[in-house]
Amino acid sequence: MGIATINPATGETVKTFTALTDAEIENALALADRAFRDYRRVSFDTRSQWMQNAANLLEENAETYAKIMTLEMGKPITAAIAEVKKSAAVCRFYAENAAQFLADVPAESDASNSFIAYEPLGAILAVMPWNFPFWQVFRFAAPALMAGNVGLLKHASNVPQCALAIGEIFQKAGFPEGVFQTLLVGSNKVAQIITDDRVKAGTLTGSEPAGASLASLAGQNIKKTVLELGGSDPFIVLETADINAAVEAAVTARMLNNGQSCIAAKRFILISSIADEFESRMAEKFAALKIGDPMLPDTEVGPLATPDILTELHQQVQICVEAGAKVLTGGQLLEQPGNFYPPTILTQIPEGTPAYSEEFFGPVALIFRVNSLDEAITLANSTIFGLGASGWTTNQAEQERLIRELEAGAVFINGLVKSDPRLPFGGIKRSGYGRELSSQGIHEFVNIKTVWIK
């Protein structure tokens, strides 16, 4: 696939871009290497000022950047503006906390003085997806740059204008040339970059095959990776839950980003006693959502990012329906241009269908009924994924069991799973490994150096 801006609301190719040549990639790697030698010595105070400048630029130009995102991948404009502001927040979080997170830690030993120092590694490659084209990049770049690393961004091929805008933000913020570079390259160039000696580690957010490919190449070259891959997060509603709040959160959690979020609730696991009420209220709300032009402020559901995602999602739905699943709302392709898919709810889904094993990356909610907490936990855990999980109950014993027994990188009780710079983010099982955000995130790409002085 070429590197291009294709409006997902209309199918129109707005602009195409030429990928970097091998010589240009070589120049970029050499520049990153040179830049690191000086940048690693820049004080936390100075890095912090530049990172605050980046946050200011994001906030001052939130609408402009949001429009680029909406144009390229179709998220509703209000969500895009919120994403730019959240990206500013993660810059500020690390600008304010990096020095403390990475301060030397005294450690007692047989030395007269021993301690742990955290030092940058060098150039880190970030392979990033289109679904949160600003947030995912800043979530990587803010801690990486504050730690003294330099960043190389290979963004998804359908969001080149976002990728270029982000590069420009770091440049305008004052970071020296080469500290953050956007490389307009296709995924066929990732192997060449990650295996280059000047690149020290890699991080990827995206699909399993892409993650496995990057990690195996990095592994062959003894380089660390962080992977943030797919999810099929459970949203468990038990008898004592506040049903109004749970339905409200369920709709928000599933529809976030037109349903294309790794931590979206995808499987709704309902205890039988509340299932009828929950289902009918959720169906009512899904049917009332406003689908349309994502540039309009009152649009709630925009198009999917690419025609391939639309085709794959509809196929998954059709397989479930042909096997006997019941459609509560949606489920039919819309007769209009663009990659729009209606908010859809499937229930009474037979075992063995994709609903039990695959990620549905779009506005489709999968409902399952269970008769006990044990059954709910077993079903929730019966997937290859383990990113987030949301449990709804006011019963403390049930809460405790959900917290301890759900196989996930995060458990949220009576709330929807979301990312927050102050809390670590990441998965287990085939959802990936490593953590982003919080103090854990900034420690992923540093040399944890032991210092021993006699």
Give the footprint of ligand NDP on this chain (CB under 6 A): 127-129, 131, 154-157, 186-187, 190, 205-207, 210, 213-214, 228-230, 262, 309, 359, 361
When the beta carbons of 190 and 417 are compared against ligand NDP, the nearer one is: 190
Structure tokens that stand for 361 in this block: 């990356």
Burial class (CB in 10 A: 0-12, 13-18, 19+), 385: buried
3-class SS of residue 356: helix
Rounded to whole angstroms, how far apart are CA atoms 319 and 322?
5
When the beta carbons of 151 and 230 are compared against ligand NDP, the nearer one is: 230
Rounded to whole angstroms, how far apart are CA atoms 364 and 362?
6
In this structure, which amino acid lies at residue 399?
Q
Task: Name the DSSP class of 257.
Answer: G
- Residue spans of beta strands (DSSP E) within 333-384: 344-347, 364-370
Question: Strand order in 388-392's β-sheet?
Answer: 326-329, 344-347, 364-370, 265-271, 233-237, 388-392, 410-413
In this structure, which amino acid lies at residue 178?
G
For residue 334, the minimal CB distance to ligand NDP (Å) is: 19
Distance from the Cα of residue 135 to its chain's centroid: 8
Contact 428, 132 (CB under 8 A): no
Following DSSP, what letter does each residue of 73-132 receive, concatenated? Answer: H---HHHHHHHHHHHHHHHHHHHHHHHHHTS-EE--SSSSEEEEEEEE-SEEEEE--SSS
Rounded to whole angstroms, how far apart are CA atoms 413 and 399?
7
Structure tokens that stand for 442 in this block: 């900034």
In this structure, which amino acid lies at residue 373?
L
Which residue among 72, 83, 91, 262 is the active-site one?
262
Answer yes or no: 162 catalytic.
no
Q: Which residue is nearest to ligand NDP (CB)?
A: 206
Contact 296, 358 (CB under 8 A): no
Which residue among 72, 83, 228, 407 is the active-site one?
228
In this structure, which amino acid lies at residue 47?
R
For residue 1, the minimal CB distance to ligand NDP (Å) is: 6
Contact 151, 202 (CB under 8 A): no
3-class SS of residue 305: coil
For residue 61, the minimal CB distance to ligand NDP (Å) is: 24
Structure tokens that stand for 102 in this block: 């990475």
What does the buried/exposed string (b/e) look like for 189-224 if buried means 16 or more CB atoms within 10 Å of the residue's CB?
bbeebbebebbbbbbbbbebebbebbbebbeeeebb
Alpha helices in 342-449 (DSSP H): 354-357, 373-381, 396-405, 438-442
Structure tokens that stand for 74 in this block: 């179709």
Instruction: Provide the annotated active-site residues.
Output: 228, 262
